[in-house]
Structure 1
Amino acid sequence: MGLLGLLVGLALLVLFAFRGWSVLLLAPFAALVAALFGGEPLLANLTQVFMVHAAGFLAQFFPIFLLGAVFGKLMDDSGAVTSVAAFMAERLGERRVILAVVLAGAAVTYGGVSLFVAFFVIVPMARSLFRAASIPRRLIPAAIVLGTSTFTMSALPGTPSIQNAIPMPFFGTTPFAAPGLGIIASLIMLVTGLWWLHRAEAAARRTGEGYGDDIEGATERAAADELVRERATTAREFDPAELQHGQRSERPSPVWSAIAPLIVVVIVNLVMSLVVLPRLDVSYLAEQRFGETTLAAVAGVWSVAVALTAAIVTTIVLNRARLPALRRTMDAGANASVLPAFSVASLVGFGAVVASLPAFTIVRDWVLAIEGGPLVSLAVATNILAALTGSASGGLTIALDALGQTYVELAARTGIAPALMHRVAVIGSGTLDILPHNGAVVSLLAICGLTHRDSYFDIVMVGIVTSLLALVAVIALGSALGSF
């Protein structure tokens, strides 16, 4: 009965989340259903397991949600994201339209701008470029997914994405874990994704397929759609409803002041991770009032938080004249972080209840018994959970919360570098999360005025297939050569 309860709880979570029900309600309900089937005490599971683990996630990662959302909103309202996208389009021209869209998305998301901010800025630009080049608009979502939701989310060293931050406390790693393998994985995703998109473009030209007809007002309706909002907030770290608040600049930011904060994120993150923090005397962290922790457990989050703070200050200093309502803009950014953070935390609470059930030992033993060793079983676990929840961050946290300590011990026994575990876990979470019910996919299609029938196959090819190829390559190279 315990295993049946686990499956029933998970099925309820997936089914109703896909229908747009709030995860804040669904996750505790599904967790209690699983506990009920297992004959476990309900109130104890709610307050001592679900809430404790959800609160623990917020305690660790809410600063990144908060600072990332504020930074994204400042970049949006100052016109900086628009300037970066326009710069890419101008430099690459009509002959390299797809590359321009991909690199525009990659530049802003690797620089720390939230995914949904990028969506609402890059989609209009992509429409204009694709229309001028007579490329089918059905390829726009795939091009944007490739640039924003693949290598800059999970593979590129130093990316400030929440997915890259989640494994750091578990493995004691930095945002730059396994940089060589991350770069190789990024190149695989980018090159194979571009190859597929150019192949699809060539096929469309041979058949005479043009751009097609836009659906007027699709972007505006998507921004106000509550169903899109509920799905989006479980997928990424920004509440799309807050994009309508604050006040956008009437003139775009100069390119140099738009790009500067993105560069600041990368440089400060690197310096904090590799130079500053390792030289600090942080023996005080062992004190009870600081949680009796270690630098390895907090260094990654500290690095990203400081980098985003520096980028926020840089954005305000360079673009103050283009932020006519600074307080409202920052308030909107702060508000945009709350619902996504609590939604993912609720998924973490659900996973903690499930992992505490006696029946979960069956699942754990099955995962650990997968042939290929710890790297393969870790990849399978993160893939499955990300697929079921439709959330890379939710699936990754559930997997590591339930099995993280086990994998740390396995890594120590088998000589696998924690940095390699980190990179495999993050890339694994960013593959099958892009299933049809993924909130980012649903939101992007709505913003573009397209359906799954129109564009989902190309999204699969550039989002899932390329990431799986990169994951296989990282596991193979890491197994043969170790972390580098």
Structure 2
Amino acid sequence: MGLLGLLVGLGLLVLFAFRGWSVLLLAPFAALVAALFGGEPLLANLTQVFMVNAAGFLAQFFPIFLLGAVFGKLMDDSGAVTSVAGFMAERLGERRVILAVVLAGALVTYGGVSLFVAFFVIVPMARSLFRAASIPRRLIPAAIVLGTSTFTMSALPGTPSIQNAIPMPFFGTTPFAAPGLGIIASLIMLGAGLWWLHRAEAAARRAGEGYGDDADGAIEQAAADELVRERATTAREFDPAELQHGHRSDRPSPVLNAIAPLVVVVTVNLVMSLVVLPRLDVSYLAEQRFGDTTLAAVAGVWSVAVALAAAIATTIALNWARLPALRRTMDAGANASVLPAFSVASLVGFGAVVAALPAFTIVRDWVLAIQGGPLVSLAVATNILAALTGSASGGLTIALEALGPTYVELAARTGIDLALMHRVAVIGAGTLDILPHNGAVVSLLAICGLTHRDSYFDIVMVGIVTSLLALVAVIALGNALGSF
């Protein structure tokens, strides 16, 4: 009965989340259903397991949600994201339209700008470029997914995405875990994705397919759609409803002013991770008032938080004149972080309840028995849970809450570098999460005024297939050469 309850609880969570119900309600309800079937005490599971673990996730990661959302909103309202997109369009657009859209998305998201901020800025630019080049607009979502939701989310060393941050406390790693393997994975995703998109463009030209007709008002409708909002907030770290608040500049930021904060994020993150924090005397962390912890458990989050804070200060300093309503902009950014953070924390609470059930040992033993070694079983676990939840961050947190300590023990026993575990887990979570019910996919299609029938196959090819190829390569190289 316990295993049945686990499956029923997860099924209810997936079904009603896809229908637009709030995860804040669904996750505790699904957790209690699982506990009820397992004959476990309901109130104790709610307050002592679900809430404690959800609160623990917020205590660790809310600074990244908060600072990331504020930074994204500042970049949007200052016109910096528009400026970066326009710069890429000007330099590459006439000759390399698809590459311009992909690189524009990659640059802003690797620099720390929230995904949904990028969507609402890059889609209008992509429409203009694709229309001028007579490329079918059905390829726009795939080009944006390749640039924003593949290698810059899970593979590039130092990416400040929440997905790259989640394994750090579990494995004691940094945002730059397994940098060589991350770069190789990024090149595979980018190269294979661009090959597919150019192949699709060539096939469309041979068939005489043009741009097509735009769906008028799609962006505005998507921004106001509550169903899109509920799905979006479990997928990424920004509430799209807050894009309508604040005050967007009437003129774009100068391109150097726009790019500088993105460079600051990467540079400060690198310096903090590899230079500053390792040299600090943090023996005080062993004190009870600081959680009796270690630098390895907090260094990754500290690095990303300081990098985002420095980027926020840089954005304000360089774009002061283009931020006439600074308080409103920062308030909107702060508010945009709350619902996503609590949604993912609720998924963490659900995962903790499931992991505490006696029946979960059956699932754990099955996962660990998968042929191919710990890296393969970790990749399978994160893939399955990300697919079921439609969320890379949600699936990854559930997997690591339930199995993280087990994989740390396996790594110590088998000599696998935890940095390699980190990279495999993140790339694994960023593959099958891009199924039809993924909030980012649903939101992007709505913003573009397209349907799954129009564009989803190309999204699968550039988002899922390329990531799976990269994941296989990382596991093979990691098993053969170790982490590098």
TM-score interval, smaller chain = over 0.9
For residues 426-481 of structure 1, the C-alpha deviation after alignment (integer angstroms, 9 at most, x for no partner) is 00000000000000000000000000000000000000000000000000000000
Aligned counterparts of 2:49 and 2:114: Cα–Cα separation in 1: 30
Aligned counterparts of 1:228 and 1:208: Cα–Cα separation in 2: 33
Q: Over aligned residue pairs, what C-alpha RMSD do you find?
A: 0.3
Q: Secondary structure at the match of 1:251?
A: coil
The equivalent residue for 1:461 is 461
Aligned counterparts of 1:343 and 1:223: Cα–Cα separation in 2: 19
Aligned counterparts of 2:83 and 2:378: Cα–Cα separation in 1: 40
Aligned counterparts of 1:93 and 1:300: Cα–Cα separation in 2: 37
Structure 1 residue runs without a partner (length 5+) = none
How far apart are residue 388 of structure 1 and its match? 0.3
Question: Are 1:132 and 2:125 counterparts?
Answer: no
For residues 188-224 of structure 1, the C-alpha deviation after alignment (integer angstroms, 9 at most, x for no partner) is 0000000000000000000000000001000000000
Question: Are 1:379 and 2:373 counterparts?
Answer: no
How far apart are residue 387 of structure 1 and its match? 0.3
For residues 398-440 of structure 1, the C-alpha deviation after alignment (integer angstroms, 9 at most, x for no partner) is 0000000000000000000000000000000000000000000
How far apart are residue 93 of structure 1 and its match? 2.7
Aligned structure 1 segments of 4 or more residues deviating by more than 2 angstroms = none
How far apart are residue 95 of structure 1 and its match? 1.7
Aligned counterparts of 2:418 and 2:323: Cα–Cα separation in 1: 42
Aligned counterparts of 1:263 and 1:312: Cα–Cα separation in 2: 12
The equivalent residue for 2:154 is 154
How far apart are residue 324 of structure 1 and its match? 1.1
Aligned counterparts of 1:429 and 1:323: Cα–Cα separation in 2: 36
Higher mean C-alpha deviation, range 92-101 or range 107-116: 92-101
How far apart are residue 152 of structure 1 and its match? 0.1
For residues 5-56 of structure 1, the C-alpha deviation after alignment (integer angstroms, 9 at most, x for no partner) is 0000000000000000000000000000000000000000000000000000
Aligned counterparts of 2:442 and 2:282: Cα–Cα separation in 1: 44
Aligned counterparts of 1:232 and 1:105: Cα–Cα separation in 2: 18
Aligned counterparts of 2:463 and 2:301: Cα–Cα separation in 1: 27
Aligned counterparts of 2:80 and 2:186: Cα–Cα separation in 1: 25
Aligned counterparts of 1:404 and 1:354: Cα–Cα separation in 2: 14
Aligned counterparts of 1:456 and 1:449: Cα–Cα separation in 2: 13
Aligned counterparts of 2:74 and 2:123: Cα–Cα separation in 1: 19
The equivalent residue for 1:397 is 397
How far apart are residue 87 of structure 1 and its match? 0.2
Higher mean C-alpha deviation, range 266-275 or range 93-102: 93-102
How high is the sequence identity, in percent, across the aligned residues?
94
Aligned counterparts of 2:236 and 2:378: Cα–Cα separation in 1: 22
For residues 78-100 of structure 1, the C-alpha deviation after alignment (integer angstroms, 9 at most, x for no partner) is 00000000000000132200000
Q: Secondary structure at the match of 1:28?
A: helix
Aligned counterparts of 2:291 and 2:237: Cα–Cα separation in 1: 26
For residues 154-197 of structure 1, the C-alpha deviation after alignment (integer angstroms, 9 at most, x for no partner) is 00000000000000001100000000000000000000000000
Aligned counterparts of 1:398 and 1:37: Cα–Cα separation in 2: 20
Aligned counterparts of 1:463 and 1:326: Cα–Cα separation in 2: 36
For residues 123-152 of structure 1, the C-alpha deviation after alignment (integer angstroms, 9 at most, x for no partner) is 000000000000000000000000000000
The equivalent residue for 1:243 is 243
Aligned counterparts of 1:320 and 1:378: Cα–Cα separation in 2: 46
Aligned counterparts of 2:247 and 2:179: Cα–Cα separation in 1: 38
Aligned counterparts of 1:167 and 1:26: Cα–Cα separation in 2: 24
Query: Which residues in structure 2 correspond to 1:187-202 (within 5 Å)?
Result: 187-202=187-202
For residues 107-128 of structure 1, the C-alpha deviation after alignment (integer angstroms, 9 at most, x for no partner) is 0000000000000000000000
Aligned counterparts of 1:85 and 1:74: Cα–Cα separation in 2: 16
Aligned counterparts of 2:91 and 2:128: Cα–Cα separation in 1: 15
The equivalent residue for 2:356 is 356
Aligned counterparts of 1:420 and 1:251: Cα–Cα separation in 2: 44
Q: Secondary structure at the match of 2:113?
A: coil
Aligned counterparts of 2:483 and 2:345: Cα–Cα separation in 1: 30
How far apart are residue 253 of structure 1 and its match? 0.2
Aligned counterparts of 1:342 and 1:171: Cα–Cα separation in 2: 23
The equivalent residue for 2:87 is 87
Aligned counterparts of 2:410 and 2:26: Cα–Cα separation in 1: 33
Aligned counterparts of 2:23 and 2:422: Cα–Cα separation in 1: 27
Q: Secondary structure at the match of 2:209?
A: coil
Aligned counterparts of 2:174 and 2:218: Cα–Cα separation in 1: 40
Aligned counterparts of 2:418 and 2:93: Cα–Cα separation in 1: 43
Aligned counterparts of 1:43 and 1:14: Cα–Cα separation in 2: 23
Aligned counterparts of 1:324 and 1:66: Cα–Cα separation in 2: 21
Aligned counterparts of 1:288 and 1:193: Cα–Cα separation in 2: 49
Aligned counterparts of 1:93 and 1:302: Cα–Cα separation in 2: 38
Q: Secondary structure at the match of 1:95?
A: coil
Aligned counterparts of 2:249 and 2:93: Cα–Cα separation in 1: 25
Aligned counterparts of 1:477 and 1:254: Cα–Cα separation in 2: 42
Aligned counterparts of 1:214 and 1:154: Cα–Cα separation in 2: 32
Aligned counterparts of 1:414 and 1:305: Cα–Cα separation in 2: 33
Q: Secondary structure at the match of 1:84?
A: helix
Aligned counterparts of 2:20 and 2:248: Cα–Cα separation in 1: 29
Q: Secondary structure at the match of 1:307?
A: helix
Aligned counterparts of 2:275 and 2:144: Cα–Cα separation in 1: 34
How far apart are residue 373 of structure 1 and its match? 0.2
Aligned counterparts of 1:84 and 1:41: Cα–Cα separation in 2: 54
Aligned counterparts of 1:179 and 1:141: Cα–Cα separation in 2: 28
Aligned counterparts of 1:59 and 1:172: Cα–Cα separation in 2: 17
Aligned counterparts of 1:238 and 1:447: Cα–Cα separation in 2: 15
Q: Secondary structure at the match of 2:95?
A: helix
Aligned counterparts of 1:178 and 1:428: Cα–Cα separation in 2: 14
Structure 2 residue runs without a partner (length 5+) = none
Aligned counterparts of 2:27 and 2:385: Cα–Cα separation in 1: 14
Q: Secondary structure at the match of 1:135?
A: coil
For residues 252-307 of structure 1, the C-alpha deviation after alignment (integer angstroms, 9 at most, x for no partner) is 00000000000000000000000000000000000000000000000000000000
Aligned counterparts of 1:344 and 1:41: Cα–Cα separation in 2: 24
Q: Secondary structure at the match of 2:335?
A: helix
The equivalent residue for 1:166 is 166
Aligned counterparts of 1:215 and 1:194: Cα–Cα separation in 2: 26
Using the size of structure 1 for normalisation, the TM-score is: 1.00
How far apart are residue 354 of structure 1 and its match? 0.5
Q: Secondary structure at the match of 2:463?
A: helix
